[in-house]
Structure 1
Amino acid sequence: MTETTVGRVQSPRIIRIGAGAALELADVLAQLGLSSPLIVTDKGLVALGHLARITDVLEAAGLPWGLFDEVTPDPTDACVDAGLRAVGAGNYDCIIGFGGGSPIDTAKAVSFMAVNPGHVRDYKAPAQIDRCGLPVIAIPTTGGTGSEMTRWCVITDTENPEKYNLSGLACVATAALIDWTFTTTLPARITADTAVDSLTHAIEAYVSRRAFPYTDGFALQAMPLIADHVRRAYADPEDQVAREALMQAASQAGMAFSNASVALVHGMSRPIGAHFHVAHGLSNAMLLPAVTAFSVDGACERYATCARVMGVASDTDSDTAACARLVEALRRLNADLAVPTPSSLGHKADTDMLVLMAKQALASGSPQNNPRVPTGAEIVKLYEIMWG
C-alpha cells in the first residue's frame, strides 16, 4: 500500500454465497424491510428461464414485482434512461440487478440517477456518487464481473463513444446473492471471457498502486481459483466444482479491485468496448499478456507472487524468472481459451483511432494506478501489439 496508511473498504451490507443463495431473495428483502422490487435484466436470461427462478420465490412470498428486461451488452446512457422511466412508472422500493455486469451496472445507475440531477455522464470518475437511491440487490449469473461486490459501474455514452466509470457509495449494492448454479448454462466463450476478466481484476488489484493488505488477501485467494478451474469450466460447462470456484473467485476479485482499483488493462479495455463493441472480459483477455509484459518491471516482486500463487512459478525461481513465466502463462491461457485478436474479428483501427483510444484510456484514471504508468505513445504501441 503506497498512497495512504488507511485502507478504505466499501461492500454490500448482506452477502449470501453458494448454491441456492438466490432462493433466499424473499428472506433478504424481508430482512431489509423491502417488498416491491423492479427486476433489471436482459431478454436472454428471461428466455433461458433463469428469471422464473427468482420470480417464483417472490410470488411464493406474496411480493409484487416489476420487470425491465431491455438491458443491452455494454449498457448505454439510453438504457439507463429507459430504466429510469420503468422505475418511475411503478411503486417500487428496491431494484434487483439480475444477470452479468450489464444488468447489475444498469441497476446501480438507475438507482442513483433516480435521486441525482443531470445526466449520468455528469458523474463519471473521479466524481464520487454518495447520494444513494433505491436499494440494489445484486444477483450475478456470470462468474466474472464482480459488480455485485464493487463500488463501481460502467456505462457507455451514446453521444461521444466512451465507456466511463461511475463510483461511490451509491454504486455499492445493498445485498449480493451469489449463486453459482446460474452459470452452468454459460457458453464456452462467455465462460472464458468472464473468468479472465476476474483474473485481470485480481492481478491488477494486487499490483495496483492503491493496493493494501485487506485487498491483497482477496486478490491472492482469487488468482489460484481461476488458474486451476477456468480450463475445466471452459471444457465442461456442467463442472460444478469449477463453476463454484470461478463464482467465488469473481466475488473475491471484485472485493479486491473495488477497493484497490484496477489499472492499465482496464483503462485500455474500455475504449475497445466503446468503439468496437467487444465484450469487456474479452478485451481484457486480449490485453492482459501484453500489458503484463509491459508492467512487470514496475512491480517485479508483486507480479512474481502472482505467478507463484497461480502455480506457474516456484519459490526457487527468481522474481525475474517468475515474471517471465507469468507472461508466458497468460499467453498460453489465451491460446487455450481461443482468445482472438481485434484484427481477427475484423476490427480495424488506424493511427488516429489508436491515439484517441489512448487519450480515453488515460482520461479514465485507471492507468495511473499501474505499477508502470504509460505515456500515450506507449499505450498506442501496446494497442498495436495486441491488435495483431
Structure 2
Amino acid sequence: MATINLPRIIRIGGGALNELPDALAQCGLSRPFVVTDGFLVSSGMVERLTDILAARGMVPTVFADTMPDPTVALVEAAVAQLTASGCDCVIGFGGGSPIDTAKAIAVLAVSPRPVQAMKAPAVTDEPGLPIVAVPTTAGTGSEATRFTIITDEATSEKMLCAGLAFLPTIAVVDYELTLAKPARLTADTGIDSLTHAIEAYVSRKANAFSDAMALSAMRLIAPNIRTACTDPGNHAAREAMMVGAHHAGIAFSNASVALVHGMSRPIGAFFHVPHGLSNAMLLPAITAFSAPAALSRYADCARAMGCAGADEGDQSAVARLLEELAALNADLAVPTPRSHGIAEARWRELMPTMAAQAIASGSPGNNPRVPEAEEIVALYEQVYG
C-alpha cells in the first residue's frame, strides 16, 4: 500500500504565472508574503509577480533576502517579518532556496519552535500557513514535495525536514520563467531533477504511482537537458525540463531519494557546492555502486532515458546507463570536487563527518544497496577526482 500526497492546486504550462491570483482566490487567500532573492528582484521578475497580484487587488509583502543554502538565522529573520506582516499565506518564488525558506517559515509562523526540532527523523504534519510555490528553475521539484532543507550554520549540517506541513497548497509551474536561465544553472538543476527521478525509481520506498512519475520525468529530461543548456530559448526543451522536474518532484516526494542525496547534502553544507552540481558529481559513481542490487530497475531507467533499447538485456542496459551518465557530466562540464577547487586535505578530513551526516539523514537507508559508513567514505574518496 502507498500513501500519495500532492498539492491541492497545480497550475502548469506557459503563462501559468498569470493564473496565480485565481489560484489564491480559490483558497480564499489575498495577503501573500513573497519569499524570493535579490537576483529575481534586480531582474524584474519579482516586479512582474507583484504586478500580477496587484492587478487583482492583492497587496504582497516581499522578503528578498534569501540565499543559497538558507540558514537557521535567515529563517528566523524571515519568520519575524512574516509574523509582523499579517499575511495569510507564503509564496516561495525562485529556485530551491526561496521555496525551502518559504516552507520553513510558513510552519514556524504558526507553530514556533527551534528550526532544529524539525530535522529528520522528526515528522511535521500539522499545517502552518498555506504555502504557494512558484519555481523559476527546472530542478528541485520542491513545489510538489513534503520536504525542505535548512542549514544549521553552527554545525554546517544541511537538515532534512519532512512532513505534510511542507507540502505546498498551490503550485504554479510556468516554464517561461526559466527561459533566461544560464547554462550552468540549467545543467545543475536539470541533473538534480534527473537524480530525483532515478533515485525515486530505485528507492526501497518506490510504488506504482511514484514509478509512473519517475519514468515520465526521465523520458522528458534525458532527451532535452543538453538542448536546454545549449539553446536556452528553446521553448519545447524548456517545457519538457520543467514538467520533468515537476514529475520528478512528485515521484521522490511519494517515494524517497536515496544515497546520492544523502551524500550530496554534506558537500553543499561544508563546501557550498550548489545542490544539483554535487548530485552530478556523485551520480555516476553511486549508480555504479548501487546497480548490482537493483539491476532491472536501473535498466528500466536506461530505457526510459533512451540510452538503451526496449529489448536490450538488463546488464547491457545498465552499462549504457553508466556510459550516458559519464557522458552527460562531460558534456555539461560537471567538475570533480578536486577540479571545482575543494582542497584535498579538507575533503579527506571531513569524509567521516560527511558520511555520518549522510547516514543520519535517512536517505542512504532507502538505497537499493545500503552502505556502511566506511563504504560511504570510500565513495567520497573515489569521486574526489
Task: Please confirm whether the aligned pair reaches a TM-score higher than 0.5, indicating the same fold.
Answer: yes
Instruction: Identify the match of residue 345 of structure 1 among 329, 340, 343.
Output: 340
Instruction: Identify the match of residue 266 of structure 2 among 267, 271, 278.
Output: 271
Structure 2 equivalent of residue 287 of structure 1? 282
Matches within 5 A, 1:71-82: 71-82=66-77
Q: How many residues align?
A: 383
CA distance in 2, matches of 1:247, 1:315: 26
Q: Contact 1:96–1:139 at 8 Å: present in 2 too?
A: yes
> After alignment, is 245-254 or 375-384 more displaced?
375-384
Instruction: Identify the match of residue 378 of structure 1 among 349, 356, 375.
Output: 375
Structure 1 equivalent of residue 63 of structure 2? 68
Q: CA deviation at 1:386?
A: 1.1
Letter in 2 for 1:307: A
Matches within 5 A, 1:315-326: 315-326=310-321
CA distance in 2, matches of 1:317, 1:34: 52
CA distance in 2, matches of 1:280, 1:63: 34
TM-score normalised per structure 2: 0.98
Instruction: Identify the match of residue 79 of structure 2 among 59, 81, 84.
Output: 84
The alignment partner of 1:89 has SS state of: helix
Q: CA deviation at 1:226?
A: 0.7
Letter in 1 for 2:135: P
- What per-residue deviation string (whole Å, max 9, x for no partner) do you get for residues 239-283 of structure 1? 110000000000000000001000000000000000000000000
Matches within 5 A, 1:114-133: 114-133=109-128
CA distance in 2, matches of 1:98, 1:315: 40
> After alignment, is 266-275 or 60-69 more displaced?
60-69
Q: Contact 2:348–2:381 at 8 Å: present in 1 too?
A: no
CA distance in 2, matches of 1:172, 1:20: 23
Structure 2 equivalent of residue 169 of structure 1? 164
Matches within 5 A, 1:1-388: 6-348=1-343, 349-388=346-385
CA distance in 1, matches of 2:320, 2:17: 39
Which residues of structure 2 form unaligned runs of 5+? Answer: none
Letter in 1 for 2:146: R
Structure 2 equivalent of residue 3 of structure 1? none
CA distance in 2, matches of 1:116, 1:59: 29
Q: Contact 1:138–1:176 at 8 Å: present in 2 too?
A: yes
Query: What RMSD in Å do the two structures reach over aligned CA positions?
Result: 0.8
CA distance in 2, matches of 1:352, 1:63: 52
CA distance in 1, matches of 2:41, 2:113: 31
Q: Contact 1:192–1:337 at 8 Å: present in 2 too?
A: yes
Letter in 1 for 2:90: I
Letter in 2 for 1:75: P
Q: CA deviation at 1:145?
A: 0.3
Q: CA deviation at 1:124?
A: 0.7
Letter in 2 for 1:65: P
Which residues of structure 1 form unaligned runs of 5+? Answer: 1-5
Q: Contact 2:33–2:89 at 8 Å: present in 1 too?
A: yes
Q: Contact 1:115–1:131 at 8 Å: present in 2 too?
A: no
Q: CA deviation at 1:346?
A: 1.3
Q: CA deviation at 1:350?
A: 4.3
- What per-residue deviation string (whole Å, max 9, x for no partner) do you get for residues 265-303 of structure 1? 000000000000000000001000000000000100000
CA distance in 2, matches of 1:211, 1:350: 33
Q: Contact 2:15–2:176 at 8 Å: present in 1 too?
A: yes
CA distance in 2, matches of 1:269, 1:177: 27
CA distance in 1, matches of 2:111, 2:168: 17
- What per-residue deviation string (whole Å, max 9, x for no partner) do you get for residues 132-180 of structure 1? 1110111000000000000011111111110011111100001000001
TM-score normalised per structure 1: 0.97
Q: CA deviation at 1:117?
A: 3.3
Q: Contact 2:308–2:321 at 8 Å: present in 1 too?
A: yes
CA distance in 2, matches of 1:350, 1:74: 19
CA distance in 1, matches of 2:110, 2:311: 56
Q: CA deviation at 1:352?
A: 3.0
Q: Contact 1:42–1:103 at 8 Å: present in 2 too?
A: yes
Q: Contact 1:75–1:155 at 8 Å: present in 2 too?
A: yes
CA distance in 2, matches of 1:29, 1:175: 8
Letter in 2 for 1:298: A
Q: CA deviation at 1:365?
A: 0.4
CA distance in 2, matches of 1:275, 1:202: 25
The alignment partner of 2:232 has SS state of: coil
Q: CA deviation at 1:316?
A: 3.3
Q: CA deviation at 1:126?
A: 1.7
Q: CA deviation at 1:379?
A: 0.7
> After alignment, is 53-62 or 189-198 more displaced?
53-62
The alignment partner of 2:224 has SS state of: helix
